Every structure is written in structure tokens, then in C-alpha cells.
Amino acid sequence: MIMPSRLICLVMLVGSASCASCDEEKQWQCSAVQEAPKFLHEIGCASDFDRLASAPTDASSAGARSVKTVIDRYDNDTLYFQNSVHYPIHWEFASEHLSRAPLPLVPMLSEFNSTEYSSPSRRFVLGAVTYYAGPDIYTYEIAPYDLASAEMIVSAYTRIKEASYFGDRLRFFASSEGIENTVAAVADEIQLITQGELYAGIDYQALNLAESYGRLRFATAEDLETTYLGFRDIVVLDQVPNDISVVSGIITEAFQTPLSHINVLSRNRGTPNMALRNAFSHAELRALEGQWVRFEVGSSSYTLEAVSQAQADAWWEANKPAEVQVPGLDDTVTDLTDIRDTIDIDAADLKVAIKEGTRAFGGKAAHYGALAHIDDLPVPKAFAVPVFFYVQFMNENGFTERVEELLADADFQSDPAVRDAALSSLRNAMKETPLNAEFEAALMAKLADEYAGVRMRFRSSTNAEDLDGFTGAGLYTSKSGDPNDAERPVADAVRKVWASVWFFRAFEERSYRSIDHLSVAMALLVHRSFPDEEANGVALTNNPFDPSGLDPAFYINVQVGETSVVLPPAGVTADSFLYYYDRPEQPVTYLSNSSLTANGGPVLSRSQRFALGQALDRIRSFFTPVYGQSTNWWAMDVEFKFDGPIGEEPELFVKQARPYQ
């Protein structure tokens, strides 16, 4: 039997013998002598890695832990594995340990960032070694926006490989398209790993980090049409639904986009939300079915454990959701109002101006009105139907009194089935009741005068949505109406949107947040519809995987045509990527790719992506004084489309922007 030389060496070492050929194979030993060393020059064992590692700044992949690396090119390529818990960013470590004579002083953070990720003559090569628990893989990675040359990358990879006990297993992961192109010519000098290979072994996705107590239940997404869930239920689902009534936590078997409706709702509610492969048949989860549990979603792991009902009750009493402060109702505005006039753009405090606009025109229309004042932002021409006409419709037809009677009914309040049936009956009655004749005539006249021949979209805009602290995402509906199409009457669209105030899910959400139902009224945001758009998407003006704010990027989900990005059909994926717009050369890191494009190419062209980046940058800058003054992470949630005549490059249209909670 012939034994590999390394195995021979190990056998002889155990027997305290010598072996001349052992010099060819390094015998690894732990380097750390302290529990939490500031840095190491070698990682000789798993304990060394664990003492230095932290969860990576980018939390898009669960079960991953990273050790940041610094290679000092001005000091013979000395390698430092920095304590990434004590020093979350490279600059903190370098400024404390490497700013000394005779070497140059480490500059301030802004200058450090502007040179050490882009300059060919930079002093440092900065990166990280990340261990992905799912696929059991170590990778070396540099920042997606790093402009390091192929020579720098190969040199750093080789240096780290030689100084790590897992060196033979180390792979290089190109975290952006630009880095993929850079290393393409040196693929034979480094062991590359693709995104697909890396993410294939990941079973856990953390969407909203939070803790909750509740009763664990299982339901299919289809069951949600007929199953009533309570706000103290924690539900395991087979698929990602477009909507769900108020629950205390969500686990889906299918992975989600951070901008899915149920994740936006989870963030808004402050409830934990995660995805777990095979969750619906997971033995440990099924063993807790029907029991009271404590559920916590962390960035790299989750906790689900049995508790007593007394513990659950006590937790709930101490953690009831805060009451949402609706800005009030202004039914004194009686004119159909051009969108730019829905807010006072000259007000000293833009936040106050938006709140005032919300009282008369709803949150969606007020924020749209703000968008219309942003220079060079492609926002479709629009107008608003103020809440006055909804209030008029409710009062003239006895619907306000009907709601008051329902709210006073004990069975309605206590039985969700009774409540659902009563609300459905109310909506049907509203949809069959004629509009006020004077209002309908004024609306049709405005459409004929200013939007002749255009199919229009009537969008929900209540005074209890898109608030700072409560979005109300997905609670109401929007409908299209066309004055020239008997199959799509304008009056039907208006009534259906108004009636959606009384959707069961909307009523439950408002009750959960202690919102007075009679204080809520529906305005309408009206603009052209997009029946045949080339692409649609949603975006955040900040990186949702980086709550620290150290790695800012635009997060974008986009899909071809009208196929939803927040609720795609089974088996359909959209482009999902981080766009480092503020970095040199604006690199992109794809998290998933559209399954609907030809040859797997991107949904957006480079010019379209840049146009979207410009729009997101303008939106971010405009709303920073409104929502970005605190030290907390913040972003605007933006809806957009690309549309245009056949044969021409589709143009960007921004349809919505609201605070992302």
C-alpha cells in the first residue's frame, strides 16, 4: 500500500519519529495565544479563525463568518488577519496598528477609502476570508467596487493561501461583474468559485431580524385564502404569498426578495421573517407545531424553542406594537389637484409639508407630489383625487353608518369569519353604488381635457399609509380605467379602489396597530397606466444587507415585462443586484438572475441601469432631510418601470417612493 507523503508524515509524527520529507508539508499549529488577539499573521487552526471572525458586513448570505485581511505592500507584503469583531472595517485596524514610522501614516477614513480600493499605487490590498457554513467553503473576496489588478488579486490570494491551514480549500469569489472580468485571464492561477456554486449550499435566509413569541402553525400559501391566522400565530409557509394577515412571525420554504410584500409588512410590523429550505417538512419545526414558541431571526442563524403560554402572554403584554399616529384627515380640499400642488414644496420643513399633503391626498400621492419636484426625475404626469370625494361617497350612501354599526357588533369584533363576510358584503355594496354625479362629471372632463385617449391607473392613497413608521404596503389595491373602453369603466376603477379600504387584511393590520378605522380615508393618485412595459422593478436607495452603513449601495430587483418581482410565479427568478453607484466604475454584484431573459442576460442595459442609478441618487438626496437625519439606517422604497414604443430604447419612469421601514 502506497501512502501519500503528507499522511506518512502525520503517522511518523504520532510515533515521535523523524521524516525528512516532512519539510515539504507544513505542519499547522494554532497561532493565537490570547482569547481575542488583535491580529494574526497565520491562521493555523479553526480556533484561530473563530477568535478573529465576525458576521460579514454583507449579510445577504446566512451562516457566513469573515476575517478581514490586510496586505501591506510597503512592508514586504506583510499579511494581517485582523480581529474583525474588534475592528469591523479595515481602516480602524490599519490606523491603529500600521500607522507608524518609518512607514507612511494611515490617512483619515475618507482619503483611505478613496485610494485603498482604487489606486494602482495603493499601500494596502484589502479583503476578507469568509467561511460559508452551508457549502462548507472558504473564500477570499475583495469588495465589489475594488479596482485591484489581476496581479494584486493573485498575489494576495497566494499569500493568504500559504498562511492558512485551509489553504488547499481556499477559493476566490468574484463579488462583482468587474472583478469577474479582471480575474478571467488568471483563472488558472486561482481557484475560482461561482455565485451559483457558493449559494447552492445555503439553506437559511434572514429577512427581518427580530424576536417574537406565538403559536407555531403550518399553512400552504393557497390555504391563506380560507384560513384565518391570528396576530399571535407564527406561521410556516410552503411558498411566498403576496399578502398575509397580521402574524407574529413568518418562515417560508421558498426564498424571498427583501422587497417582497410580506417582508415589507414584516419590517413594518417589527416581526421576524426568514426562509428555510424544506421548512414545511422540517422535522424539528414539525415537532413544535401547535405549541407556544419563542422565535428569533438572527443574521446567520435562527432560534425556535418551546415556551409556556404564560411566558408568551407576558412577552406580548410587554411588547405590544406601538400605536400608529395617523396625521389626520383634511376633507376641505374639493378640487381635483395636479400632483405638484399636493404638497407645499416651499415649506421650511419638507417632512411637515408631506404630512400635511397626506391628510388631504394620502401618503402615496403626497410622496409622488414630492417626486414631481425633483429636477430631471422621470415621473409620469399625474393628479390626485382628494379624500373629500371618498368621505362624500361614504356619507351620502350610508356606508359610514354601516361601518359604525359593524364596529359596535360583538360578533364582528370577535369572530374573523364573521368579520371577513361582513367586510366583503360592504365592499360589494360600495362597488355597485353610483358615484356622485357632479364628481364623476368633473373627473371625466379632466381626463378628456388633459389625458385624452390615455388608459389611466387609479392608485390607492390613504392618509394611513407611507408614514414614517408605517408603510401599509400591499394593504389596498389599484385599478385601471379607460374612458374609451367600455370594458374598463373609470367609475368601476374608482369604486374598487375606494372599497379596498375595507379589505379584511387592511382592517386586521389597522386593528393590530390601533388605528381608528373611521379616521382612514382614501384619496386617489391618477396617472397613465403601463399595460405593456418592457421591465418593472423595485429598488431601495440603500443596502438592506448592510445595517451598519459601511457598505452603501442601491439594491435593485427588476424583471422583464409585467411579471412581478415581489411575487414571481413558481420557478421564476428576477434580477436582484447591489449597484455600487457611488464607487468608481459603479460595480454591480448580482444576487440572482432573471430566468426570463434571452441567454440569461441582464434585464437592464448599462445605459438603463445608469439612468436608474441617477434617479435613485436624486431621490436619496431629496429625501435625506426628511427621513435620513437620524443615525439609523434608512432608505426610500422606489417603484419603477421601463417603457417605450416598440423598436426604441425603453425609458425610465419612477412611479413611487416611500420610506422603507
- The per-residue DSSP string of 508-524 comes to HHHHHTT--GGG--EEE
How far is residue 216 from each of residues 207, 229, 269, 274, 308, measured CA to CA in Å?
A: 19, 11, 18, 14, 13
Contact status, residue 197 vs residue 135, Cβ threshold 8 Å: yes
Q: Given a cut of 70, is residue 21 above it in pLDDT?
A: no
Q: Given a cut of 70, is residue 643 above it in pLDDT?
A: yes
Q: What average pLDDT does this structure show over 124-139?
A: 90
Distance between terminal CA atoms of the chain?
Answer: 65
For 361, the grid coordinates are 391626498
Q: Tell me which residue of 518, 475, 538 sits closest to 245, measured CA to CA.
A: 475
> Whole-angstrom Cα distance, residue 226 to residue 229?
10
Question: Could you give the count of Cα atoms lying within 13 Å of 351 in the half-sphere of its Cβ?
Answer: 10
Query: Count H helices, E strands: the chain?
Result: 19, 25
Q: Given a cut of 90, is residue 471 above it in pLDDT?
A: no
- Angle formed at CA 276 by CA 273 and CA 277, multiple of 5 degrees: 150
Q: Given a cut of 70, is residue 59 above it in pLDDT?
A: no
Which of 35-49, 208-222, 630-644 is predicted least confidently?
630-644
Residues 168-194 pLDDT 10s: 999 999 988 889 999 999 999 999 998
Contacts of 412-419 with CB under 8 Å at 24 or more apart are 416/228, 416/230, 416/504, 416/508, 417/228, 419/504, 419/507
Q: Given a cut of 70, is residue 411 above it in pLDDT?
A: yes
| Predicted model pTM | 0.74
Per DSSP, the three-state class of 473 is coil
- The per-residue DSSP string of 113-133 comes to HHHHTT-TT-SEEEEEEEEET
What residues form DSSP beta bridges with 587? none
Q: Tell me which residue of 497, 518, 526 sits closest to 326, measured CA to CA.
A: 518
Q: What average pLDDT does this structure show over 513-532?
A: 92
> Whole-angstrom Cα distance, residue 436 to residue 152?
72
* Residue position matching grid coordinates 378640487: 335
* Residue position matching grid coordinates 502525520: 10
